[in-house]
A and B are shown apart, each in its own frame.
Chain A
């Protein structure tokens, strides 16, 4: 569609030339460091610094090609490949895929914390970004000043997750050898003045410089004056609230806007009372705290970060789901005929009319009709939140041990918080597979669940 837009390629090449050049510099520095320090490893018998040196050379060659501005020379992804990627990208694949990815990285953490592997993953991610940018639709999203911090955040988060996992794996190995954690070795005390204060000052100045340069290079994305009757399309929340906005698609505003965020805040406040295990205090570990580690990564990476990425890259006009390289067409037709659970049960399964309160019914009769109509959802929610935790105690050895250690109240609090966390992916998948809107829907009294 944007085919050979010269203006687009001019902007693109002016960016990509420097981009590939900095990738070359990055790999060159890494190769130099490994060669000088002699800390390099071997991959299939080849010293890794040679590998990074060749990567640096390759990026150096690609850089002028990308800077040339000629669509034929800029390395990119073929249209067919992009179409395939768009076709297989749907919300279920995305949400389930991110869940699987997090768990896969958890189980294969010993593989991923290997510095050589991590460096290859980092390079691949940068190359993928560079190749994807040749797509005008993708570039349109990435270059938007609002979205620059999100792209940065994705890479930064990858780095920090890797650092944490790598330290934890080291400590776990040491524990297996009967040694204490690395953090216990390093008990050297550092003076506040001058060490800490100077470090802070240098960081402050560096950060200020970065922000000033950023503010000059990327203009603040000001839009037209606000109007109460005109909403931009798509209308996106600030990037840090995109997860909440995504949650609002699946829940009633009262639930997703008030109840669930409060549960996040109060649940985090309750963590010290729920989690009395002292293992892992003050040092990195995964083996000692597998459950806690995965609960956190699930809540943070899957339920928060991937939803931000989804809201940024995959949500277009009318909040429709678009592939990474798909043009944002405001008239995209998506079949989203959503039904409440009561409709599924009463009309589709039982084949009868839903009980419906008549306008002249009294309060009691009206309510009992509403409750009868919503009884399938109410029963399901009670089963989920009140019966499932005790059932887990009976049938799961892991939860039984937890129950014995924690006691009834703490156990119920923990499992209910966990179940509320799980409810988001469950409802997402239900929405995308069964078109389920609300489990309990009482629009008469603005109560939906």
Chain B
């Protein structure tokens, strides 16, 4: 102890605290100068001078913490000295510098949990901002949050937290409100169902009718809304049947058969009616037929190319012969024919309401061509 003046302030403080706490904890010994406290400096007297400055901050903190625990437990020990309190105190007093941080924390927690919060707050432990300790305290105080306890609760078939009425009922604990509910007041006279009218004549009927639809501002509002909607629907329905139809008729005349030369494709009806009238040989028979100007691939409108003698679609390049049979591009089937006949006045008449498909063998139908 000769070189004690070379010790740092922390060292001196810690030594003092250790002496104080150790003395308190080791009340059994009841000696102001207990041997264990002075053990450390005494144990390494030569190294003390050199080591004093080399002590790291962690070591000092640990030392201080060890003291704090010791002093805190000493308060309790002084109240009721018992065997279990001796242990942490003894551990702390034994060698504060050699204890690991974990051990100290454990010791501190053990001490804190056993104690009332009041002395803990007073004790120097509270001043040290150790993050783990409050967490540990909280863990102890609040309800079961860790996995094992939640699992245990679940095994008991009970969830943590609030439960619904049905669950409470199933568990046999009915929802019993401890609050006393006020009595329901008597229903006033104006909400009592009116007694049925004794005599229902026409006047009361109309009265109730108008009352329902026009009796209040709300009823008037909804009634007018309904009427407006009905009018709109009716107006929309009328819109579907215009007075003047600008669409070309589906049945129309395309002139006399004699007007057509053999091999001619009349394209002048395409723009208005979407039809080519063709007079040509089909399977060795000269006939007049009306081809629908809609590509069988995807519905574009092909063009008649006089130079190449074919119908050619601009969208994907499908090509059709003069008789409407597909031969190039992706079109899967021939063009369709419209119904055609000789009308009473001798003119050819095309009816767009009927179509004839070659792949279904319908071109042999006499309605699909006019022999010439």
Contact = CB atoms under 8 A, between A and B. Distances in A.
A230 interface: yes
A249 B315 CA distance: 9
A448 B314 CA distance: 21
B274 A228 contact: yes
B297 A248 contact: yes
B13 to A, nearest CB: 44
Nearest to A332: B308
Nearest to B362: A359
B28 interface: no
B271 interface: yes
A317, A318, A358, A446 interface centre (most CB from chain B within 10 Å) = A318
Contacts of B303: 233, 318
B317 A359 contact: no
B316 A338 contact: no
A229 B360 contact: no
Interface stretch (B14-22, B39-47, B282-290, B324-332): B324-332
A333 B317 CA distance: 11
Nearest to A250: B330
Interface string B167-193: 000000000000000000000000000
A47 interface: no
Contacts of A227: 271
Interface string A412-447: 000000000000000000000000011001011010
A320 B308 CA distance: 14
Given A338-B328, A448-B332, A235 B293 contact: no
Query: Mostly helix, strand, loop or mixed at chain B's interface?
Result: loop
B301 A248 contact: no
B283 to A, nearest CB: 15
A338 B312 CA distance: 14
Report which residue of A229, A232, A317, A358 has the largest number of chain B beta carbons within 10 angstroms of its beta carbon.
Answer: A229
Contacts of A235: 300, 314-315
B319 interface: yes
Contacts of A446: 332
A2 interface: no
B271 A230 contact: yes
B314 A318 contact: yes
B333 interface: yes
Nearest to A230: B301
A231 B315 contact: yes
Interface stretch (A59-67, A251-259, A388-396): A251-259
A319 B313 contact: yes
Nearest to B327: A337
Contact of B314 (A233, A251, A331, A338): A233
Interface string B18-46: 00000000000000000000000000000
B298 interface: yes
Contacts of A320: 317
Interface in B248-281: 270-272, 274
Contacts of A358: 361
A18 interface: no
Interface string A80-121: 000000000000000000000000000000000000000000
A319 B308 contact: no
B317 A318 contact: yes
Given A359-B361, A444-B360, A448-B332, A231 B301 contact: yes
B316 A248 contact: yes
Contacts of B307: 331
B332 A438 contact: yes
A148 interface: no
A253 B298 contact: yes
B343 interface: no
Interface in A120-142: none
Nearest to B333: A443
A229 B293 contact: yes
A245 interface: yes
Contact of B330 (A228, A232, A248, A359): A248
B275 to A, nearest CB: 9
B153 interface: no
A337 B310 CA distance: 12
B154 interface: no
Contacts of A317: 314
A359 B328 CA distance: 26
A179 interface: no
A428 B319 CA distance: 18
B123 to A, nearest CB: 42
Contacts of A245: 315-316
A248 B313 CA distance: 13
B305 interface: yes
B153 to A, nearest CB: 37
A359 B303 CA distance: 31
Interface string A324-335: 000000110100
Contacts of A438: 332
A336 interface: yes
Contacts of B298: 248, 253, 257
Interface in B66-82: none
Contacts of B332: 252, 437-438, 441, 443, 446, 448
Given A253-B298, A359-B361, A231 B314 contact: yes
B115 interface: no
A234 interface: yes
B328 to A, nearest CB: 4
A250 B332 CA distance: 11
B308 A331 contact: yes
Nearest to A320: B317
A319 B333 contact: no
B51 interface: no
B359 interface: yes
16 contacts: A229-B272, A229-B293, A230-B301, A235-B300, A248-B330, A249-B330, A252-B332, A253-B298, A318-B312, A318-B314, A331-B305, A336-B319, A336-B328, A336-B329, A444-B360, A446-B332
Interface of B: 270-272, 274, 293, 297-298, 300-303, 305, 307-308, 312-317, 319, 327-330, 332-333, 359-361, 364
Given A231-B315, A248-B316, A253-B298, 10 more contacts: A229-B272, A230-B271, A231-B300, A245-B316, A248-B315, A251-B330, A252-B330, A253-B297, A331-B308, A448-B332
A-B pairs with the 9 shortest C-beta distances? A319-B317, A336-B328, A233-B314, A443-B333, A359-B361, A231-B301, A443-B359, A235-B314, A231-B300
